[in-house]
Structures are given as C-alpha cells and as structure tokens.
Amino acid sequence: MAEKEAKARIRINKLLEEAGWRFFDNEDGPANILLENHVKITQKKMDAWGDDYEETKNGALDFLLLDDNNKPVCVLEAKKESLHPLTAKRQAREYAKAVGAQFVILSNGIVHYFWDITKGNPKPIYKFPSAGEIGAIKAWKPDREALAHEPSLY
C-alpha cells in the first residue's frame, strides 16, 4: 500500500477514536467499528499491521460502524490522500445498501463527507460524527406538514 494511503488510514483511525467510536471493547462499551463486515479485530492484530493494511482479507479496509444494537449504521469508505473521497460515492452507496446502513462517510484522511443515502448528496464535514450524533440524525423525523405551515420569521 502506498505511504499516502497508510497515512490516510492512520488519520481516519484517529478521527474515529476522537468521535468516540471504538475499535476494541472497553469500559465505554463493546467495539462498534468493524474493519471487515462481521470481523472483529484485536489490538494485537492491529499492532502487527503497523502501517501495512494489505493483510486484511479483502485487501481493503472499509470501516463499518455499528449502532447500540450491533447493527450497521454507517459505512466509512477510505481513500488514499491523492484521491478525492467523492470518487468512492457509488461504491460506498452499494456497500451501505448491501449491509443495511443508512449513512456513509467518505474520507481520504484530509477531506471528509457525511451522507444519508436516503436523502440528497454527501455534505462536507470537518470531524466525524459520534455514534450518538448519527443516532439522533437517524431518529429525527420532522413533521413535513407542520414545517410547511410554520410562520416565516421574515
């Protein structure tokens, strides 16, 4: 794997951890990141990879983020730094549909997008959403009729 792709993955790992996602079970709860669908990794295995992620079964490390019920909620499609994350839009949407995830994060470690595949297009983000933030977005069901008749402030 090119050095820039490894750097992107290291940045993505850090952004996920900063947002409260867990690669491993800890006092905050069970791991909620899978690097391959339904495959839980260990700290020993991750340490052994170092900056070389080629050892993964499929040769690519897409991240599958799980909700509190251990169900897929978000696919994170990682690209190397030299590729714009939106180049992975179609691939990520198909993967999300296949696993039943509503949300996608597209990232090259520098530029990131968040996307509800049931609505619109990916939106630029500056940090990754937490599990709680994604849960709140998923749970939000606005009353379209009430919103349409809301008085204008202007």
Break the chain into its structural domains and give their ranges: 3-148
Nearest one of 110, 77, 111, 113 to 95, comparing CA atoms: 77
- Sign of torsion over alpha carbons 43, 47, 49, 51: positive
**Cross-strand partners of 66:** 72
pLDDT tens for each residue of 43-87: 554 454 444 444 444 444 489 999 999 999 999 999 999 999 999
pLDDT tens for each residue of 91-111: 999 999 999 999 999 999 999
CA distance 148 to 15: 37
CA distance 96 to 79: 16
Record: fold of 3-148: tt1808, chain A (3.90.1570)
